[in-house]
Structure 1
Amino acid sequence: MIKIYLKYLIFLTFLHCSFSFGIGNGSDEEEFTRSEILSILALANSNRNIILGSTRIFKSTVTSSINNTPLAISFDTSVYDTNNIFNLNDPTKVTINRSGLYYIQGQLSYSTNGTGIRKANLVLNDLSVIGSTALPAASGDLTNISTESTYRLNVGDFLRLQGFQSSGGNLDIVVNSGYSQILSVTKLSE
């Protein structure tokens, strides 16, 4: 058995990622030249996630939801849309125009009511739920809920943020300081 010794330990820190590695063992001494270290740095930098486009939309007014009825949120404001996927003429969805791997996050905040459950769903093409979070209703406070997914999407796919509640009656999805009724879509890679 060969004892492995860490000859070199290099820590590299980049925006949104950090990692470390070490090589070398007792019998095979390895040394890095300056150009090898620069090559490793370049390779490490090229493999990190690079944001290729980002969209963040929200609704600036209260949405009333009906008991036990899924509801697609109708957005009215774009914070930014470098993906160019949101259209105010079709405000309940974003339509993908470049295939790739995406990180999607939706956030909702329901009015105070301690009965039932609250859900936030990410719905793909009105067929599949690709992200879902369900929570029991908070008693005496808003119920804040978020859901997320990393998913490979194709040109023409569309996403909706859907709310659902079972309070026994109508319940508002409120505007909550930039937290509620928000959909974010970030392209991570081709």
Structure 2
Amino acid sequence: MTAEALAILKAAGAEGIEHPGGTLMAHLRRVSALLASWGARPALVSAGLCHAFYGTDGFPVALLDLERRAELVEAIGAEAEELVYFYASCDRASSHPGLTDEPSTFVDRFTGARTRPSIEARRDFAELTAANELDILAVSPQARVRYGADLRDLFTRWRPLLSEPARAHCRSVLGEPDH
């Protein structure tokens, strides 16, 4: 985690934004730590810390305008910022169901563009999504009741994209799939 990324998060008010399990800042730190515990490379760990900078399809609060992407690139590097943008730009309803398909179609919710991301990009996206959602479920019994079964189904379908540590964490938080 870079000091620059933490400074931008603080300046954007992440410590004061409510989020399951406390504040958005606490959540971002937990997601980053979870990815690190799974052995993720540094760029993905940094993306975990910053994944909410541009808001997401499920969390509309943006900490930084898209016009200011260069600031995040400076703080965490181009590769990590690209992962943050890719994660934030996901139109979940259009992109999640076919993420494991070859070819997979990914819809950018900011531009409407349809792309065919590489298997590496889809693995990173699945890993970051799993870390994000599993953190929320681990700290929020309400979210676990409301979303747990759907996320278990999603992550079961995404099993080919997830690392073994991520799959094991899915099982520990969500239990074994019913099918």
Give the TM-score normalised by structure 1.
0.24
Higher RCO structure, 1 or 2 (CA under 8 Å, sep 6+): 1
Larger fraction in strand: 1
* Superposition TM-score, scaled by structure 2 size: 0.25
Pick the structure with more helix per residue: 2
